[in-house]
Every structure is written in C-alpha cells, then in structure tokens.
Amino acid sequence: MSAAAAGLVVDAPPRLRRSPLARLVRSREAVLGLVVIGVVVIVSVLAPLLAPQDPNAGHPDSVLAAVGSPGHLLGTDEQGRDVLSRLIYGGRAALYVSVVSVALALAIGTALGLIGAFAGRRTSGLLMRTIDLLFAFPVILVALSLAAVLQPGPWVLIGTVVFGAVPYVTRIVYAEAKVEREKEYVEAARSLGASEAAILATEVLPNIVSSVVIYGTGLIGVNIVFTASLSALGLGVQPPDADWGRMISEGAKVLVTGSPGVATFPAVAILLVALAFNWLGDGLRDVLNP
C-alpha cells in the first residue's frame, strides 16, 4: 500500500453542500415568484368554479358599475360584464400561450444552439449569421404577417413568440456551448472514448440546462406581456373571450372617463405575473449556479 493510501493526505476535507430545494427556499424572490405564479395557475385552472359570474354575460342595466358594487367586486365594463370574472378567466390564454410557445422556443433554440456550437465551421457560421439577422428583427412584422395569413388568433401569438424567442435562445446556448466545448473536460471525455453525440448529451447539456431554464422563466414573463399587448391590438385572442390583453383595449375608451379599473386591473395582473416569473428566474439563478 502506498504512503498516500495510508491516509497521509495533506489537503483539508471538503465541506458539505445543501440540497437545491433548500437553497431555493432561501431566496425570498423565488418564493414570492412561485407563490404568485402558483396562485394564478390555480385560479386559471379552477376558473369555472371561482368566477362569480359568467365572464361573457353582459348586464345592460349595470354598465360601468363602480368598484365594490354589489355582485361586482371590481365593477363592470362597457357591456356590463363582470370585471372580476373576466379577470379570473383572462389569464388562461396568456399563460397557456406563453408557456407553450416558450417551451417550444427553448427546445428549438437549444437544439440549434448546440448544432451551431458543435457543427463544422461552414455550417455553424451560416447558421449563426442567419440567427443574428433574425435576432433583432421587429417581431411585430411577423405578428402582422401571421395574422394576415392565419387570421388573428392564438396561433398568431404562438408563432410570433417562437419567432422572437428562438434566435435569442439559440444565441445564448451557442455562446455557452461554445465555451464548454473548449473546456478540457470535453476533451477528456473524448479521450475516454465518448462519441460526439454522447458528449453533447451527457457532458455539455447538463452545464447548459440551468442557464436555459433561467432564461426561459424570463422569456415567459416578457411574453406574457407581449402576447397580451398583441391581443390588445386585435391580433390574438378574439372577442368575446375574456383575455387580459383584450380587456385593456376594451377598457381604453373608458379609462379617461372615470372607469379606469376596467383597463387597469388586467394591466396590473399582467405586470404581477410577469414580475413573478422574473423573480423566480432570479431565485433560480442563485440556486443553479452556486
């Protein structure tokens, strides 16, 4: 037995580590974000049970009721529809569209980014230059084009978000994968018999996933706001469905004439949910990159 194995090691023993969940809970921001998101998700899912009234039913005799009116906690809009009920139902489309499209964009963007980082110089150069060109492209033009082709609706929103998010995610993944690719543990894996594909999947990907997740939460937040705004323009969710974005444009006319709540409550809801995703992302950043 060598002297080393006899335990004559000079170095100090390593310290203990905390579990990821414990670390997440220590971040106030992350907890706050999770709580808000949790509430919104639950409310949206249980909307039929929680909404006091039918969100699309107009009461012509109680148009523009004030906040706190009997039966209408947050008032009614121009058509007499209960704002609270519409608010409860209104988050569904936004959440659904944002989460689905961001998830899609993350998958596509990660794949493209990894390809860009590991492919040959020509392929990679061409791919990344294309992505760079698409990156800053005014997304509104895509929204308008899609609306012209598909007619306004949720698919316009999904398509626009994916178009806008994929270059963003691709660039991030490409940059990080490229850095990792140069690292010696990748070379070591090669010298230890791993194939390129195996290296991508088992060595590099775990080092990128946390970044992707963090950026993903940020993207969801941004796109909740953006899809709401597109719906406000009439490109997304169509009337008479309740949607936070649409509620803002519907409430626009009466904002200045004494019923600001119709447009403002949904705006605040959008802001809160988006911020919640941001906070969650910040909290995750501390957890995943100690």
Partner 1 sequence: MSRRILLRLLGAIPLLFVISLLVFFISQAGPADPIRDALSQKMTAHQIAQIRNAYGLDKPVYEQYLNWVKSLFTNGGGISLIVRSQVSGIVLPAFRNTLLLVAAATLLAVVLGVAIGFVAGIRHGRLADRLTMLLVQIGSNLPVYWFGLIIIWLTAVEWGWLPAGGMHDLRNGGGFGDLLLHLIAPAFAASLVGMLIIARFVRAAVIESEQSDYIRTYRSQGFGQAAILGKHVGRNILPPIVNTTGLVIGSVITGAVFVEVIFSWPGIGSVLLNAIPGADYPVIQGGILLVAVTFVVINLVTDIVLDLLNPRLRHGGA
Partner 2 sequence: MTSVLTVEGLSVEFALPGAVVEAVRGVDLRIDRGEVLALVGESGSGKSVTAAAILGLLPRAARVIGGSVRFGDTELFGLRDRQLNVFRGSGIGMIFQNPVTSLDPSFVVGSQLRDTARLHLGLSRTDALDVARTWLQRVGIADHDRVLRSYPHELSGGMRQRIMIALASLSGPELLIADEPTTALDATIQKQILNLLLELGGETRTAILLITHDFGVVSHTSSRVAVMRHGAIVEVGETAQVLEAPAHDYTRTLIESVPEVGQRHVQGGRERRLLGAAPATQRVQLAARPAGDAPRTDDAPILALRDVSKEFVLGGLGTGRGKSVVRAVDGVSLELRRGEIFGLIGESGSGKSTLARLSGALLAPTGGAVAFDGVDLAGADAEATRALRRRFQYVFQDATTALNPRIKVGDQIARPLVRLGKAANRKEAAELTRRALELVGLHAGYADRYPREFSGGQRQRVVIARAVALEPELLVLDEPTSALDVSTQATILNLLLDLKHELNLTYLFIGHNLAIVEFVCDRVGVMQDGSLLETFSADELFEPDRHPATRALLDSVLPIRARSRVEEEMNTAEAAL
What secondary structure letter does DSSP report for 82?
Answer: B
DSSP symbols for 199-228: IIIIIIHHHHHHHHHHHHHHHHHHHHHHHH
143 Cβ contact list (under 8 Å, min separation 6): 156, 157, 160, 230, 235
Check binding of 187 to partner 2 (CB under 8 A). Answer: yes
Check binding of 275 to partner 1 (CB under 8 A). Answer: yes
Check binding of 274 to partner 1 (CB under 8 A). Answer: yes
The long-range contacts involving 180-186, CB below 8 angstroms and separated by at least 24 positions, are 180/117, 180/204, 180/207, 180/208, 181/117, 181/118
For partner 1, which residue of 152, 154, 159, 216 counts as binding (CB under 8 A)? 152
Q: Residues 221, 276: contact at Cβ < 8 Å? A: yes
Map the footprint of partner 1 across residues 17-36, applying CB under 8 A: none
Residue 23 interacts, among partner 2, partner 1, none and using kind-specific CB cut-offs from 5 to 8 Å, with none
For partner 1, which residue of 136, 184, 192, 289 counts as binding (CB under 8 A)? 136
Which residues would be at the binding site for partner 1 (CB under 8 A)? 129, 133, 135-141, 144-145, 147-152, 221-222, 225, 228-229, 232-235, 245, 248-249, 252, 255-256, 260, 263-264, 267, 270-271, 274-275, 278
Which residues would be at the binding site for partner 2 (CB under 8 A)? 1-5, 7-15, 17, 121-122, 124-126, 128-129, 183-185, 187-194, 203, 206-207, 290
